[in-house]
A and B are shown apart, each in its own frame.
Chain A
Amino acid sequence: SAVISQKPSRDICQRGTSLTIQCQVDSQVTMMFWYRQQPGQSLTLIATANQGSEATYESGFVIDKFPISRPNLTFSTLTVSNMSPEDSSIYLCSASEQNYEQYFGPGTRLTVT
């Protein structure tokens, strides 16, 4: 299985600012995804990060708020823009090959004050 790292592991940010989260995979993977997990809740898919093209966003998530980059097959970034306290959450990236098994990074714990 792929080994996935994320930076930063946690951050406390002021409202109105933006934070970019990095996700690095130790091998080339076909698919990369970004999720959000609110306290006590399950995972919600934000978007699929497509290599070389725009990300595919799920209902309720938009590019202006969550711009995503994927410049190659091992790396992706998620930016949380113009943050508000409602954006406080854990953000997780994952990677998979064609068999749909996904492996997750350790997550980024974001607190917006």
Chain B
Amino acid sequence: RKEVEQDPGPFNVPEGATVAFNCTYSNSASQSFFWYRQDCRKEPKLLMSVYSSGNEDGRFTAQLNRASQYISLLIRDSKLSDSATYLCVVNMRGQYNTDKLIFGTGTRLQVFP
């Protein structure tokens, strides 16, 4: 089983739509969770951290379900500028007892007019 799994998409949605991405992770000891956004030929940019109680930032809502080892990202009122790849990221304890981030392969979103 992959350490972090995402549906690769692409998700093609019209402007104004609501879209949800899901992600599962394998290590139950993971403590920190993030969503990053990556535009074509650009570096990943932190979109939001995901907290146990769930959190919202404008049109974006992130949820965490520790029991099911599942993370979600909801985007409301999609804009053309939301078109990008969304990366689910989980921290894991690596060798030498150091923490490291594991990146999912990403879910592509294309918003059309």
Chain A nearest CB from B89 CB (Å) reads 8
Chain B nearest CB from A53 CB (Å) reads 11
Q: Which residues of chain A are within 8 angstroms of B49 by Cβ–Cβ distance?
A: 99, 101
B side interface size, CB within 8 A: 22
Q: How many residue pairs between the two chains, A and B, have CB atoms under 8 Å in the bound complex?
A: 48
Q: Which residues of chain A are within 8 angstroms of B105 by Cβ–Cβ distance?
A: 41-42
Contact B87 A42 (CB under 8 A): yes
A side interface size, CB within 8 A: 21
Q: Does B98 contact A (CB under 8 A)?
A: yes
Residues of B whose CB lies within 8 Å of any CB of A are 32, 34, 42-46, 49, 87, 91, 94-96, 98-106
The 8 lowest CB-CB distance pairs between A and B, nearest first, are A104-B43, A100-B32, A43-B103, A42-B105, A42-B103, A100-B91, A107-B43, A106-B43
